[in-house]
Amino acid sequence: MKKHNFSAGPCILPQEVMQKAAEAVVELDGSGLSLIEISHRSSAFVEIMEKARSLALEHLGLSDKGYTALFLQGGASQQFLNVAYNLLEDKAGYVNTGTWSLKAIKEAKIFGEIVEVASSQESNFNYIPKGYTIPQGLDYLHLTSNNTIFGTQIKEFQKTDSTLVCDMSSDIFSRQLDFSQFDLIYAGAQKNMGPAGTTLVVIKDGVLGKVSRKIPSMLDYQVHIGKDSMFNTPPVFPVYVSMLTMQWLKDIGGISAIEEINDKKASLIYSEIDLNPLFSGFAAKEDRSNMNATFNLTDATLKETFDQMCKEANINGINGHRSVGGYRASMYNAMTLESVGVLVDVMSELERKA
Ligand code: PMP
């Protein structure tokens, strides 16, 4: 029986996507060949890549708005480096909202001065800093829209004249935003998009070409743009599955439709966390992530019982990250409201039992 998979990533994907992906590994669209044995230069794969690139822009409302979508390798972590390599000449600003922001800062420091514009590190990243002053003269400002480990999410993006870069690895395609406020968006596939192995990078025209350093080809966004995301052999399977997932999202009504469901899932779990005295939420209420709900037991002696009940209910992957402890229920796009209901039922059953 399929488990209710609350894993933080790699994570749940739509069942029908898994099915189609499995079929394509055996034989792609009746071609007599597997997806993973055909040339990436074949018309069949070029079509898949082009469809993936155009679906990404379509979902973000950025088609014909002067943006290019790329599917690169090396994970979101590679983009921590690439962003700075391609955009940082003197000074960049970073809002430090957690482990992933810190890792992005570490890479960027190799290339220039980094201003930590705001941080919530002093309280173990349980909130999103707000109302901070963004200094003038930054090459760019870097944000992390959703903090996977801590369960916080930026709800309002501060207006800025700075070039705006955002790591959306764990909430891409989950909610409607004005995506045209961003100059560069990146997101590892392995949450809302597909399997690990590719990273979506969306770049606005005119953002590149401003740094004086030589950029190695594989790290140079302009090279990848010039080659239509096919500078070298792309990760064909992750790109294909990402394309299928984006098509699935389009078929069910796009970001606006999934956002409604994501809101319902988040309300369901957070109201249980707030009403049930056996649980307490980790993140500040106004900054709670709709993707990753972080919470603790108020009575640690119940851990074994709760874990056993979760296991019996076929719940997988709710252990919190080691830097936060407790529990983390990740509720990405493919997770159903019913699955969240199963977890909430276990939580309320624990209250009845205790
Ligand atoms: N940014 C965020 C917000 C993440 O959640 C993750 C991974 N969980 C990363 C970056 C790093 O991604 P990767 O492992 O693909 O390098």
pLDDT digits (tens, 9 = 90+) for 74-117: 999 999 999 999 999 999 999 999 999 999 999 999 999 999 99
User: Residue 354 pLDDT > 90, yes or no?
Assistant: no
Mean per-residue pLDDT, 346-352: 98
Pairing of strands 315-316, 4-5: parallel
CA 140/CA 90 separation, integer angstroms: 10
User: Residue 40 pLDDT > 90, yes or no?
Assistant: yes
Tell me which residues are annotated as active site. Answer: 100, 167, 191
Q: Is the peptide bond before 10 cis (omega within 30 degrees of 0)?
A: yes
Residue 81 near ligand 1, beta carbon < 6 Å:
no
Q: What percent of the chain has pLDDT over 70?
A: 100
Nearest CA to ligand 1 atom 2: 169
Q: Which of 222, 243, 231, 108 is nearest to 165 (CA)?
A: 108
Tell whether 7 is in a known binding site.
no
Mean per-residue pLDDT, 263-289: 98
Mean per-residue pLDDT, 31-49: 98
Q: Which of 170, 186, 199 to mutate to test the pocket of ligand 1 (most atoms within 8 A of CB)?
A: 170
Whole-number pLDDT of residue 229:
98
Residue 194 near ligand 1, beta carbon < 6 Å:
no
Q: Tokens 């590679």 identify what position? A: 78
The two tokens of residue 38 are 């055909």
> Where residue 341 falls among pLDDT bands split at 50, 70, 90?
very high
CATH 2.40.30.10 is the classification of domain 254-353: no
Contacts of residue 305, defined as CB under 8 A and 6 or more positions apart, other chains included, come to 350, 353, 354
State residue 178 phi and psi, 5-degree precision: -80, 95
Whole-number pLDDT of residue 128:
98
> Where residue 42 falls among pLDDT bands split at 50, 70, 90?
very high
Residue 9 near ligand 1, beta carbon < 6 Å:
yes
Contacts of residue 229, defined as CB under 8 A and 6 or more positions apart, other chains included, come to 49, 53, 69, 70, 71, 72
Mean per-residue pLDDT, 285-295: 98
CA 248/CA 135 separation, integer angstroms: 41
Ligand 1: atom nearest CA of 149 is 5
Q: What percent of the chain has pLDDT over 90?
A: 99
> What class, spelled out in words, does domain 15-251 have in CATH?
alpha beta
Nearest CA to ligand 1 atom 15: 75
Other residues' Cβ atoms within 10 Å of the Cβ of residue 124: 12
Mean per-residue pLDDT, 169-176: 98
Intervals of CATH 3.40.640.10 along the chain: 15-251
> Where residue 201 falls among pLDDT bands split at 50, 70, 90?
very high
Q: Across all residues in the chain, what is the average pLDDT?
A: 98
Tell whether 198 is in a known binding site.
no
User: Residue 1 pLDDT > 90, yes or no?
Assistant: no
The two tokens of residue 5 are 């998979």
Tell whether 76 is in a known binding site.
yes
ipTM reported for the complex surpasses 0.90: yes
Intervals of CATH 3.90.1150.10 along the chain: 254-353
Mean per-residue pLDDT, 267-278: 98
Q: How far is the CA of 104 from the centre of ligand 1 (A)?
A: 10
Q: How far is the CA of 76 from the centre of ligand 1 (A)?
A: 5
Whole-number pLDDT of residue 228:
98
Q: How far is the CA of 157 from the centre of ligand 1 (A)?
A: 20
